[in-house]
Structure 1
């Protein structure tokens, strides 16, 4: 509920105007039965046709005013809902982009996607409907009851006898329905995750002939959504028939009482006709209110999910300045870290001077990429410290920290945009810097073979490029900003040995002042590094130059012989 208040507050002027217009239009609707009763009981008995036409014209005028104002109010309601949800979606997206990696892991990508899409859609519907029906229905209900009191208080008391039952029904069903809609959204999260996995892994699924298996798996997840939605809708569906039951019982009692009172001369036929019209209005208003509660229950569940993200406190806060005199450019000081309290990397300790190159090698899952993520402060270390130029990275603003880096990750991405825009990445770099980076990344040759050159447009995720071409574009992006620290996380695995050698020579020639950290599977990629770390199960089991590791680290030596047959690699 706080979410609605927070985002509708800046729009309160437009909201109040729209509700006022809707209120006036609804009052015009309430006048119609009253005028009809007056025509039947007072005007028609006089036999004056002019008076009949006059009051009939008043009914037509009220109807026109009601229709025009209702249309205008609905337009205003749609505008308020649109603008409120636009701000919610913007703030939610911004918040998601600033979540730490561990917070994003906690919520999960599918859940964040569904909160940004289906949940905000539910909020849009709720805000819009609450303005359109949320005012009209209560006004018709309360106004209708007041009008019936003026017509015949006795009949009103008979009708009012069923309203407490209707109110209790709405309360208990809505109380049970909100958790069910929350559970439904959780099932939608699972569905989004499954679809995302199937789309991302489509090639693997086809290659391993697992299409039927994935269809069965999707069917199970899809059935979970169906079951959750069915459960929620069954609960809320009880509202309408129960409301109809109570109100129709009331209608029956009113008809019986009306017949008796007309027969006894206690009331007039016109009053009964008007009263029945008001009863119909009240009946429809009550049904509209039940519809509001159904949608509001769904909107409230979605609002809670969105509000949870918006209220998430930043995990990676900037700490007080922690700086020491240190000639090293990058220093890992006995760093340990674990994703779920179990150490993924332990006691990582090394020093890099400006312009030096560090190579990191080890088996899959040994913690190589984790070291890179800690350096970028995507996660905070559990113990130890990481310093750049003597300053602890947790005392740096994240934007200040990240501008020092040029990075390519194992699973990096390309936008559905031109090569130039993908390399520039919104940094407004000069064209000569972009072209220079493509030359150093060995991408110039294949880019020049394209008709549009750097203006060649890529498809989503760069699917119209080969694996090696993608990696060279990503390398160009990392190099284009002339970074202080270059991080290459297994970024040359798709390059042949010749291109890989050219890349290393270009880095040595044009980026001598750049400190480079290379995570690799091939020793040839890091053989010339000033320092190499051999990682196994999150620990450094070997540290030194290639020559030193060949003499002192048996696992490193085994990898070298397996990859090269013992011959020196250029």
Structure 2
């Protein structure tokens, strides 16, 4: 909570001004019942109409001034809350970007979405409600109690007892409600995760006629979320009935005792009217405090979830390069081992070296560790053992941005943004249209871009839904090429391309990017046969490595794959 509250520090002055205005409004509201009592007890019996009109006009001015002060303070509170939430969401997003992929896996993408949206909204509501009602309501309660004690201490004790019981009720209920709100937020994470999965896999769901099963899965998560919210709401819902009961009981006692005292001449009519007004005002303010506590309960639960991200330690720090040995080649590994879950290694004892300008082919079945190997080179994950280097230096000793700007990458399952073709290739890098066109030509994408209604300015739907699989892949390849990378990684980037287009792409890469180091991950022998070095992976280990000719002679698995895919004569 302290971490989130720290975002209020730059706006302390504005908050202080808002508190002062709220205090002024509360004072004005507390004066009104005194003036009303004076009118009833003094001016009406004296039939002093001019004084009654003057006092009434003064009451109108005070009421208008109190309303104006409250409106001004509320607008200031809303502005501060929006600015604080904007900065909090900005820093939270930046922190998410700085987390390692391993940390992202632990938190989960759906939880990140929920924290960036729902949790920050709850914090915004908490700040806003506290500034609006959290200042005014306690002032009205304290001021009202002081004034009622000055008028009738005995009746004021009734009001004090009711207020104390109300505060006790609010405290106990809030303490019980916070854990339920935490559970409710976790249930929302599950709902968001299922929605993300359905949105990204809608075509597969429809193709396999799984709509019914997905509806049931969503309904289950939705019901769980509803139950969690219901439990939290059930606990917090006890606040208003109990406080209403206390209010009505207190009012009954005040009216009963007050009527007897007025009849006995121990209290004036105006005093009892003023006292009842203060009693109602105090209890209304107390109910306002209850609502503030509900917001604080939700906000505190969300603030803790946000704090988990903001205070998560950065696992991938830059290590000092003390007398570091310059490694051979532009990239490579030595006995690199890695496990996602820490149980069995997903990549074990991987070693290879690639020189600048050469081509590396990575071949292997699904789950053999091909993408894992690339993730270690990009330092998306850190190896559990061994050394991984790029540019002759251990990746752990390089700044993330310095390291990753050397690469152009097309990941398996990459996605396109909702925007124009140009925006998808430039990808917020401000590249010239000439550079984008050149990259599209090399990626074999220009031939279909030219046929689009507006060329580079044609709109692309989210995830490229209005494009074919081959067109999407070529745009992704063009995006990777447009940044003029030193090392280009293509992870199954030709899986949706026909053999003729894939061959044309490989020829264009050799022609247009002669000095670029190329890493190609594929399940097609034809895609890697021209590589200077080919790694054959099997169950997380490099089973063999060498050139196409060398592997045909020394690796039975590679030779079998080549014969199956290309025919014995083509090998």
Q: What TM-score, normalized to structure 1? A: 0.97
Q: Which residue of 2 aligns with 1:491?
A: 493
Q: Deviations over 1:438-465 (max 9, x none)?
A: 1211112111222322222211111111
Q: Which residue of 2 aligns with 1:530?
A: 532
* Deviation (angstroms), 1:227: 0.3
1:438 to 431, 437, 440: 440
* Deviation (angstroms), 1:413: 1.5
Greater shift, 262-271 or 400-409, is seen at 262-271
Q: Deviations over 1:467-511 (max 9, x none)?
A: 111111111111122211111111010111111111111122222
Matched residue SS, 1:161? helix
* Deviation (angstroms), 1:383: 0.5
1:564 to 542, 563, 566: 566
Matched residue SS, 1:513? coil
2:407 matched to 1:405?
A: yes
Greater shift, 253-262 or 105-114, is seen at 253-262
* Deviation (angstroms), 1:159: 2.2
Q: Which residue of 1 aligns with 2:374?
A: 372
Greater shift, 446-455 or 281-290, is seen at 446-455
Check whether the contact 2:163–2:286 (CA below 8 A) recurs between aligned residues: no
Q: Map 1:358-369; keep pairs closer than 5 Å.
A: 358-369=360-371
Q: Which residue of 1 aligns with 2:552?
A: 550
Q: Deviations over 1:8-28 (max 9, x none)?
A: 110111111112112211211
Q: Which residue of 1 aligns with 2:25?
A: 25
* Deviation (angstroms), 1:567: 3.3
Matched residue SS, 1:162? helix
Q: Distance in 1 between matches of 2:18 and 2:158?
A: 35
* Deviation (angstroms), 1:426: 2.5
Q: Which residue of 2 aligns with 1:115?
A: 115
* Deviation (angstroms), 1:193: 0.5
Q: Deviations over 1:211-262 (max 9, x none)?
A: 1111111111100011000000000001111112223222222223213322
Matched residue SS, 2:460? coil
Matched residue SS, 1:491? coil
Q: Which residue of 1 aligns with 2:338?
A: 337
Q: Deviations over 1:195-214 (max 9, x none)?
A: 11111111111111111111
Q: Which residue of 1 aligns with 2:258?
A: 258
Matched residue SS, 2:459? coil
Q: What TM-score, normalized to structure 2? A: 0.97
Check whether the contact 1:183–1:228 (CA below 8 A) recurs between aligned residues: yes
2:282 matched to 1:275?
A: no
**Number of positions where the alignment pairs a residue of Structure 1 with one of Structure 2:** 569
* Deviation (angstroms), 1:106: 0.8
Q: Map 1:505-520; keep pairs closer than 5 Å.
A: 505-520=507-522
Q: Distance in 2 between matches of 1:191 and 1:168?
A: 35
Q: Which residue of 1 aligns with 2:359?
A: 357
Q: Which residue of 2 aligns with 1:248?
A: 248
Q: Deviations over 1:135-163 (max 9, x none)?
A: 11111111111111121111101222233
Q: Which residue of 2 aligns with 1:162?
A: 162
Q: Distance in 2 between matches of 1:326 and 1:296?
A: 55
Matched residue SS, 1:464? coil
Q: Distance in 2 between matches of 1:254 and 1:326?
A: 87
Check whether the contact 1:159–1:253 (CA below 8 A) recurs between aligned residues: no
* Deviation (angstroms), 1:167: 2.1
Q: Distance in 1 between matches of 2:254 and 2:166?
A: 17
Greater shift, 364-373 or 119-128, is seen at 119-128
Q: Distance in 1 between matches of 2:70 and 2:519?
A: 65
Provide closer, same or farther for how the CA distance between residues 5 and 335 of structure 1 changes in structure 2, counting only shifts above 3 A.
same
Which runs of 5 or more residues in structure 2 are unaligned? none
Q: Deviations over 1:339-361 (max 9, x none)?
A: 11121100000000111111111
Q: Which residue of 2 aligns with 1:49?
A: 49
Q: Deviations over 1:155-196 (max 9, x none)?
A: 101222233322222111111111110110000000000111
2:385 matched to 1:390?
A: no
Q: Which residue of 2 aligns with 1:182?
A: 182
Matched residue SS, 1:334? strand
Q: Which residue of 1 aligns with 2:475?
A: 473
